Structures are given as C-alpha cells and as structure tokens.
Structure 1
Amino acid sequence: MQRIPLSYAAPAMVLAKPVQRDDGMVLLAEGTELTSSLITRLQSMKIEHIVVEGNPVDLDGTLSEFNRSPEDLDRLFRKLTDNDFMMKLKSYLDEYFQVRQAANASQGEDADGESGELPS
C-alpha cells in the first residue's frame, strides 16, 4: 500500500483505501480501479493524495525494486556500518532485490521491469 500524490496516479491503479472528502463522505471505495476520467474528477474535487495497492511509484528514487544494485545499498547504508540492526536490514534488502531480479528475469523482463518482447 502506498500513499501518493494524485498527480502520480495512473489508470489501472487500484485504491487500497477509500477516497473521502473532508466531511467524511466516501467518493471512491477501496478496491476501485482508477481510470483517466476518475483521476480527472478527483483532481477537479481538489483531492491531493490517494492510497493505492502495492508500491507502484518510486517517489524519491531510492526504493526502485528493479534498479537496485549492491552498490546502491552500500551507498545508502555507508554511514551505518557500525549499527548491527541496519546492517541486518541491508542484508535483507539485498536478498529481496536479488530475488525480485531473478523472478523478473524468469518472467522474461529486463532489469527495468519491462518485457523483452517487441510490441505487437
């Protein structure tokens, strides 16, 4: 689940929480798949953030699961080498990204998460 600015919303994203107005009225229910028209309608209602399923948007560029390399993790954790907990976390993240890359490779996707097939 990820809270994102509405400007990052895209069609086919699925709401993980309902979208409500300030007065509590539900505008869209949890589980609703977004469309271009729904996004436009939410923008016209001045909705600023929504909560979508998964983590489809890398808002700050540091957690992209498809572009993570051991060197990136080394850089991110470089000042924490004396912290056992953070080094254990780094180890788990490194393993997670390796598993994800292997899973994507087995599904025919490249390192950017895009299919290696040509569009039809």
Structure 2
Amino acid sequence: MPKISVDKIEPGMKLTKPVTRGNMVMLKEGTELTEHMIIKIRNMDLEKVSIDGPSQNSIPKEERLVQLDMRFKNVENEPYMDLLKKLVREHIEVSYEQ
C-alpha cells in the first residue's frame, strides 16, 4: 500500500487508510476516489495519501531485472521456466512504462 502524492491520485483509486482532519474522518478506508473527492483532498493541504496496490516502482527497473536473472539462474535450460522468465520480464518492463 504505497503512499502517493495527492497530485498523482486519480479517480478509481482506493484509500487504504482514512483521510482525517483533526480527529474527524473525512474519507474512510476503502473509499474509491472520485474527481470531487480528489479536489477536496487537495484542498486539505495533505502531501500524501495511502492507496491500494503494490508499491511497484520502489526498486529501480535495472535492479528488478538483475533479481529476475538471479532467480532463474538455476533453471535456464528448462523451456517452461524460460517462458515464465520472459513473461515476468515483460511485466516488469510494462510496469515501469506507466
């Protein structure tokens, strides 16, 4: 559950922690954000909010690819494992394009 800048939140994202002002819950955990809610969050002068989903890019792409090679090092000659490695590599490449 990554924390992202309120400037990067988009409609459809879900909160993993409530948005509060003082002791009052403004938006509860699990709320799917709308344009209207995003405007309100930005007006609250918050820096970041917790949203649902993995923190995919916390590790540089090059490091992820090196880790992938290391994990598949002992099964390089097995066709199905090679196919699996290629699919995972494609997934990593695409996830860093977004």
| TM-score, normalized by the shorter chain, greater than 0.5 | yes
CA distance in 1, matches of 2:59, 2:64: 16
Aligned to 1:112: 94
Aligned to 2:63: 73
1:26-61 alpha-carbon deviations (Å, 9 max, x no partner): 110000001111101111121221100113674x78
TM-superposed CA distance for 1:10, in Å, is 0.7
Higher relative contact order (CA 8 A, sep 6+): 2
Aligned to 1:43: 42
Task: Report the AA paired with residue 16 of structure 1.
Answer: T
**Is 1:29 paired with 2:28?**
yes
TM score, norm. by length of structure 2: 0.62
Aligned to 1:14: 14
- Paired residues in the alignment total 83
CA distance in 2, matches of 1:94, 1:37: 45
Runs of 4+ aligned structure 1 residues displaced above 2 Å come to 55-58, 98-103
CA distance in 2, matches of 1:74, 1:56: 13
TM-superposed CA distance for 1:74, in Å, is 7.9
1:73-116 alpha-carbon deviations (Å, 9 max, x no partner): 289x8xxxxxxxxxxxx46x856xx969727x7xxx8x525xxx
Report if the CA contact (8 A) 1:4-1:52 is conserved: yes
TM score, norm. by length of structure 1: 0.52
> Tell me, what secondary structure is at the counterpart of 2:94?
coil
What is the root-mean-square deviation of aligned Cα atoms in Å?
Answer: 3.7
Gapped regions of structure 1 (runs ≥ 5) = 63-67, 78-89, 114-120
Task: Report the AA paired with residue 102 of structure 1.
Answer: L
Q: How many percent identity over aligned positions?
A: 27
